[in-house]
Amino acid sequence: MTTKRTREILELFDQQYTREYKCYLNYETPWQLLVATMLSAQCTDARVNIVTKDLFVKYNTVEKFAYADQEELEQDIRPTGFYRNKAKNIIACMRVIHEKYQDEVPSDVDELTALAGVGRKTANVIRGNIYHEPSIVVDTHVKRISKRLGLTKEEDPVKIEYELMKVLPKDHWILYNIQVITFGRSICFARSPKCEECFLKAYCLEYSERQKTKSRKRERTGKNE
């Protein structure tokens, strides 16, 4: 159930960032987005986009990824980190898509998460951006900011996903992730967030607690003087 407070937060997000749908990973086909999302684990979208610019020219079909030499692919994706595991998973994942799904990326969440290296986060990126299925992607920004705004108290990404599904209206599921990523990269940093510039500080539990702590310190200092 969406509360008045949550609706106000979403309205402020809409005003600040519009309701435009955009993906920060560059791709032209569903399978390219799948590969890019797999590479984005523990890596910035900007760095992934640099790597995939050449990667998608060299491996321009699902089949080429499916039967790639693993050591060669490792070197091609090395800048994204965890390249050995990512290369192994990409090859295994693309082989199933080529042999079982005839190069079509499935839309079903269970079929997607059955693929090597594909968790719910990656599956929801595909479902939301390719198939326009209402999905909530819980990345580091969504986890941090949802907690600060009091929309969840959970730590586990899957639990956060299900909790947000209860409190956010469906028409904001994909949009919320897009807006929160922008917000997290420009204002609500993990460390040293720009609280004084923040248009949501009135709704932030962390900011409120920080202000209370400052107030208590001032009171103690005043009493000691």
**Rounded to an integer, what distance in angstroms lies between the CA atom of residue 101 and that of residue 99?**
6
**Rounded to an integer, what distance in angstroms lies between the CA atom of residue 200 and that of residue 149?**
8
* 171 in active site: no
Q: Which of 86, 121, 143, 201 is catalytic?
A: 121
CB atoms within 10 A of CB 53: 10
How far is the first Cα of the chain from the last one, in angstroms, to the nearest whole number? 49
**Rounded to an integer, what distance in angstroms lies between the CA atom of residue 8 and that of residue 14?**
10
Give Cα separations from 170 to 1, 2, 145, 175 (angstroms): 11, 10, 19, 9
Q: Which of 88, 103, 139, 147 is catalytic?
A: 139
Q: H helices within 44-134, ranges in order?
A: 45-58, 62-66, 70-76, 83-99, 109-113, 120-129
* 121 in active site: yes
- Which residues are annotated as catalytic? 121, 139
